[in-house]
Amino acid sequence: MHSPSVDKIGLLGIDVGFSKSRPTTGIAWSKNGEFGAVRTHSDWERRSRHIPATTTFSVIAIDGPLVPIGADESLSRLCERLFIRGAFQTRCKPGLSNHGYGKDLRRAASETAEQFRHLGEQGRVIGKAIRAGTPIIEAFPNAFLGVLLPEARFTMPACGKRKKFDWLYDHAVDSGVIGSLFEALGWRNQALLDAVLAEGDHEKRAAWICLLTAACAATGTSEIIGDDKGGWFWLPQSELWAPWARNALEKNQAALS
């Protein structure tokens, strides 16, 4: 029996935004060749309007720090520590989610996971999913794009901290690595690829990368970094990583072992 095409699989990507007044959540979905992306608010009532009715999803990828239920707020996560050192520090590091603003984002990510968990396909379970019995995983768009980019891209003019993700996205489009990822996934949906490449909205861009994170997980090609205690980053398959990124991860793993 052949596995279904990634274009047929129900995939959902969510960029967690937690402003009470502004639309800072991005949502992207794909199933049976159809797809969409929107920017909306943090409450379920408005988020739910933008998801196709009666649709369930094989993988739900959320951009926000997801830790096991009951984890201490001050828990230091291995996946974060691995990406704040060495070459990652100036290229695609995460914020630490165990203090300050990071704690707020951790709470918002947990609330988002609870909002969307009922949309997971019945009986669909993913190993290392952050919520037992669900297909919910954590996306980290900055690193997802960063590890794909050749080192030469990082010698080009840098950007302000607030615009780091958009800088990475622009270079991912320009360098062709997003198209290469679609090819590696066997995802032959030119209209979707064109939409991802043309996207200019920050939140919808992040949601598209969450959707690609879900696609990697659905096809069993993800590189999964972290541990059971603190959770996992789901990234593209290691064969697509730039050599600098593979070397940086190996060095950081050795330093923290």
Q: DSSP assignment, residue 81? A: H
- The partner residues of 233 in beta bridges, in order of sequence, read 225
pLDDT for position 54:
78
Look up residue 158 and give its amino acid: A
pLDDT for position 1:
34
Instruction: Give the residue ranges of DSSP H helices in 97-239.
Output: 101-116, 141-146, 164-175, 177-185, 190-198, 202-218
The span from the CA of 53 to the CA of 227, in Å, is 35
CA angle 133, 137, 230 (to 5 degrees): 95
Quote the tokens at residue 60: 């739900």
In the chain (257 residues long), the average pLDDT of successive 10-residue segments reads 76 88 92 95 90 90 94 93 96 92 91 93 82 91 98 82 86 97 97 98 97 96 96 97 98 95
pLDDT for position 53:
81
